[in-house]
Chain A
Amino acid sequence: MVPTNYYLILSAILFGLGVLAFVFKRNIITLFMAIELMLNAVNLAFVAFSQALGKPDGEVFVLFVIVVAAAEAAVGLGIIILTARNRRSLNVEHVDLLKL
């Protein structure tokens, strides 16, 4: 059986990659995928703990996260499509109306 530590380390690496991608990439789609990556890294940690502790709580949480992620993906993609239409660009640097 694979030790829980391995799952957690993998989860941390995936989360870190997601953060780095979110901070450094400019394409909105990529940012979106980075968010999904972070969510799934957390999901991995949840199921790992669930298995290690022998309780179903973590798996229940994962299902919640997946549902929320699906809803978020629907809203987020809608926003992305509108942004792309209005600005003819997917570069996040160009979305700066809040700037002083």
Chain B
Amino acid sequence: MPILENLWIIPLLPLLGSAINGLFGAKWSKPVVNSVALGSTGVSFLCAVEAVREFLAGGSQPFRKEFFDWIVAGNFRAGFDLQLDQLTVVMLLVVTGVGFLIHIYSTGYMAHEEGYYRFFSYLNLFMFFMLILVLAANYVLLFVGWEGVGLCSYLLIGFYFLKKSAADAGKKAFIVNRIGDFGFMLGMFLLFRTFHSLDFSTVFAAAAKPEVAIEPIGQFGVLTIACLLLFVGAIGKSAQLPLYVWLPDAMEGPTPVSALIHAATMVTAGVYMVARSHVLFTHAPTAMYVVAIVGCATAIFAATIGLVQSDIKKVLAYSTVSQLGYMFLACGVGAFGAGIFHLMTHAFFKALLFLSAGSVIHAMGGEQDMWNMGGLGKKIRTTFLCMLFGTIAIAGFPPFAAFFSKDSILFSAYNYGQNGKALYAVGLLAAILTSFYMFRLIWLTFAGEKRYDEHKVHVHESPLSMTGPLMILAFLSLTGGWFAAPALWGGKDYFAEFLSPVFGAGEHGGAESSSLEYVLSGVAVAAAFAGLIVAWRMYAKNVKRGTSEGVHKLLYNKYYVDEIYAAVIIRPLMWLSTNVLWKVVDAGMIDGAVNGVADGAAAVGDTVRHTQSGNTRSYAVWVVVGAMVLLGIVFWPILHPALFGGVR
């Protein structure tokens, strides 16, 4: 059966798995839950591979099919339309492939947890929404996936919902994302107002016409406003400045969730959306510039915070924020292909790093503070080697994946306009910091003396269900960038070429830029080495946790951003909610109205009940009075002149 014609089957399978496990899983044993969850995801992955094979066999023609009408109102139509082009292919394989590996890993990691079936039900539901997001052929359906993954993120961050910090982190993620989603919705409204459609094909075809960009709202073009609003959505979802604060807190969730949702797939949805809307963005240079600046600023900002964190997952969380900044930097300078390339390689090595960290935490019996680890390299060798692969990959050493993707981003930034050099310099600095904090993590965790009590912690290597995915991801982290490798010796960048039908011809120039690329690659590798050397000097030997002062304290406390938000936004909002909305509006007006009606009815009843005396003759009097009144009403027209002496 051709899968391509029945594309809906790819997202539907995880949805079925989620529904079956969610409804019946509570009574089933773990192997049954496993087979449902892994089966649905695995078959979905195979379907995705088959669909991609058919897509490539069919000459790589963009495929689009309308399955059914979902919302039809006036001239507005939002259908369940799915599409498959080169960009979707990359996302589809990353989501289903990495998702499947993380499902396998989760069977080992979550083996001793309560709510096993619930976890896999949520995880499958996430896969469903993420696949809807990447397959959607219009903004409305994309938004369904967008909100759906947000919901699953909330559910999974708060998976240990009895723990207050986890429940709070879930709420924080959801609420911060609302800000971004509001911008996204406004952007969609503006697009619909301008183009009278939200289908990608219609909008992009219309936006490509030159007269659209000059229609002004104020002094900017309508596309600039729309792109900035869409980018606000991406800022929320992809944890960029200033809405990144939810992602580090999201580490309260189980580690596979951090790997799947908060590193590999969901947080990259913003990058995907910007890349998908590249036609709009390329017609809005101001918006592009904002994207580049925000991405670049986030990359360096988050990297500096990551330098000093002590929680192994927090380091990786800030690293994720920083790497997402790189992706936006790429999109901002117009190198959408490089951004998606980094998205893919990041999905491999960051999932690997998170899963390895999970394996370390598993081995340490739940300990996450790196200052309480040390010397683990000999005891959990497989995990150590896998994590080392991921670290070398993210630091950008050749021939690992991020060397190619980060290199092409920095190269594109360097060639971007007059401010490109500055963006490049900041990006390069962030690369040094990345290398530093990742090797710091390696040395603190795996090298040196052990800093934990061996009698209390029984360090053990994880089962094959966990190390297996690690090894596969380690392999991908090594080879994932090789599509672009031939470009180094003058060949083709196969990844850029594959995506070129979507993004247009790449910006890689001829021979004279090639020599520049060698120089920049060399500089990037030197930067990675610099970070490594500094980390080695500081952390390779016996280290003790120092006191926190000055800049270190500022960084350790994350620039006090959470505290600033609390003082500037949350505190006033709480005051307003408590003193006005609660005490005046809710307790005073709403409750007052409801209670007032009730009190009024009671008071009237209390008065009127005295007519019910229980005395028979008083009732008789009421009957008589009633009869008199009725007679009076009936005969009023006749009596009226007679009473006032009028004579006919």
Q: Which residues of A contact B (CB under 8 A)?
A: 19, 22-23, 26, 92-93, 95-100
B164 neighbours in A (Cβ, 8 Å): none
Taking CB atoms, residues of chain A closer than 8 Å to B624 are: 19, 23
Q: In the complex, what distance in Å separates the CA atom of A97 from the CA atom of B612?
A: 12
Q: Which chain B residues border A19 with CB–CB below 8 Å?
A: 624
B621→A99 contact, CB < 8 A = no
Instruction: Report the Cα distance A19→B614, complex, angstroms.
Output: 19
Say whether A99 contacts B617, CB under 8 Å: no
Residue pair A100, B612 in contact (C-beta under 8 Å): yes
CB <8 Å contact, B609 and A100 = yes
Chain A contacts of B615 at CB under 8 A? 93, 96, 99
Q: What are 8 contact pairs spanning A and B, CB under 8 A? A: A23-B617, A26-B617, A92-B616, A96-B616, A99-B613, A100-B609, A100-B612, A100-B614
The chain B residue sitting closest to A22, CB to CB, is: B620
Please tell me if the beta carbons of A92 and B613 are within 8 angstroms of each other in the complex.
no
* Apart from the given pairs A22-B617, A23-B624, A96-B615, 12 other A-B contacts in the complex at a CB distance below 8 Å: A19-B624, A22-B620, A23-B617, A23-B620, A23-B621, A95-B616, A96-B614, A98-B612, A99-B613, A99-B614, A100-B609, A100-B614
CA distance A95 to B615 in the complex (A): 8
A95→B613 CA distance, assembly (Å): 12
Contact between B620 and A98, CB atoms less than 8 A apart: no
Residues of chain B from 609 to 630 with CB closer than 8 A to chain A in the complex: 609, 612-617, 620-621, 624
Inside 8 A of A95's CB, which chain B residues have their CB? 616
A-B CB pair tally, cutoff 8 Å? 25
Contacts of B621 in A (CB 8 A): 23
- Centre residue among B609, B613, B620 by max chain A CB count within 10 A: B620
List residues of chain B with CB within 8 A of the CB of A99: 613-615
Q: How many angstroms from the CA of A98 to the CA of B615 in the assembled complex?
A: 8
Question: How close is A3's CB to chain B, nearest CB, in angstroms?
Answer: 20
Smallest CB gap from A96: residue in B: B614
B620 CB to closest chain A CB, in angstroms?
6
Residues on B with beta carbons closer than 8 Å to the beta carbon of A92: 616-617
Contact with A along B55-98 (1 / 0, CB 8 A): 00000000000000000000000000000000000000000000
Q: Which residue of the partner chain A has the closest CB to B619? A: A98
Binding site for A on B (CB under 8 A): 609, 612-617, 620-621, 624
- Distance in Å: Cβ of B484 to nearest Cβ of chain A: 92
Residues on B with beta carbons closer than 8 Å to the beta carbon of A23: 617, 620-621, 624
Would you give the shortest CB distance from A31 to chain B, in whole angstroms?
8
Q: CA of A100 to CA of B608 in the docked complex: distance in angstroms?
A: 12
Q: Which secondary structure dominates chain B's binding surface?
A: helix
Q: Find chain A residues with CB under 8 A from B609 CB.
A: 100
Q: What residues on B are CB-neighbors of A100 within 8 Å? A: 609, 612-614
Given contacts A19-B624, A23-B624, whether A98 and B617 have CB atoms under 8 Å apart is no
Q: Top 4 A-B pairs ranked by shortest CB distance?
A: A99-B614, A98-B614, A96-B614, A92-B616
CB distance from B632 to the nearest CB of A (A): 16
Q: Check if A97 sits within 8 Å of B614, measured CB to CB.
A: yes
Q: Can you name the residue of chain B whose Cβ is closest to the Cβ of A95?
A: B616
Write out the residue numbers on chain B whose beta carbons fall within 8 Å of the beta carbon of A97.
614
C-alpha spacing A35/B226, complex, angstroms = 86
Which residues in B have their C-beta under 8 angstroms from that of A93?
615
- Closest chain-A Cβ to B100's Cβ sits at a distance in Å of 75
Complex Cα distance, B615 from A46, in Å, reads: 32
A39 shortest CB reach to chain B, Å: 15
In the assembled complex, which residues on chain B have CB atoms less than 8 Å from the CB atom of A96? 614-616
Q: How far is the CA of A96 from the CA of B613 in the complex (A)?
A: 9
A98 to B620, CA, bound (A): 15
* Distance, CA A99 to CA B609, complexed state (A): 11
Question: Closest B-chain residue to A35, C-beta based?
Answer: B620
> CB-nearest residue of chain B relative to A99?
B614
List chain B residues, Cβ under 8 A from A22. Answer: 617, 620
Nearest residue (CB) in A for B609 is A100
Q: Which residues of A contact B616 (CB under 8 A)?
A: 92, 95-96
- For residue B25, give the distance in angstroms from its CB to the closest CB of chain A: 60
Give Cα distance in the complex from A100 to B624, angstroms. 22
| Chain A: minimal CB distance from B607 (Å) | 13
Alpha-carbon distance between A95 and B616 when the two chains are bound, in angstroms: 8
Q: Which residue of A lies closest to B628 (CB)?
A: A19
Residues on A with C-beta less than 8 A from B620 are 22-23
What chain B residues lie within 8 Å of A26 (beta carbons)?
Answer: 617
- Nearest-Cβ distance from residue B606 to partner chain A, whole angstroms: 11
- C-alpha gap A92/B614 in the complex (Å): 11
Residue of A nearest to B613 (CB): A99
How far, in angstroms, from A96 to B609 measured CA to CA in the complex?
Answer: 16
Q: How far is it, in angstroms, between the C-alpha of A92 and the C-alpha of B615 when the chains are bound?
A: 8
Give complex CA distance A33, B346 in Å: 103
B144 to A: closest C-beta gap in Å: 61
Chain A residues with CB below 8 A from B617, complex form: 22-23, 26, 92
In the docked arrangement, what's the CA distance between A19 and B520, Å? 114
How far does the alpha carbon of A100 sit from the alpha carbon of B611 in the complex, in Å? Answer: 10
Measured CA separation A53–B143 after assembly (Å): 83
Q: How far is it, in angstroms, between the C-alpha of A3 and the C-alpha of B615 when the chains are bound? A: 41
Tell me the complex Cα distance, A100–B609, Å. Answer: 9
For the complex, give the distance between the alpha carbons of A22 and B620 in Å. 8
Cα(A95)–Cα(B612), bound, Å: 14
B576 CB, nearest partner CB in chain A, Å: 49
**Taking the nearest CB of chain B, how far is it from the CB of A89, in angstroms?**
14
List the A residue with the shortest CB-CB distance to B614: A99
What separation, in Å, do the CA atoms of A93 and B616 have in the docked complex? Answer: 8
Nearest chain A CB to B314 CB, angstrom units: 71
Q: Chain A residue with minimal CB distance to B624?
A: A19
What chain B residues lie within 8 Å of A98 (beta carbons)? 612, 614
Q: Give, as a whole number of angstroms, the nearest-CB distance from B623 to chain A.
A: 9
Q: CA–CA, A23 to B624, complex, Å?
A: 9
Q: What's the Cα separation between A97 and B614 when bound, in Å? A: 7
Min CB gap A100→B, angstroms = 6
A100 to B621, CA, bound (A): 18
Nearest CB of chain A from residue B609's CB, rounded to whole Å: 7
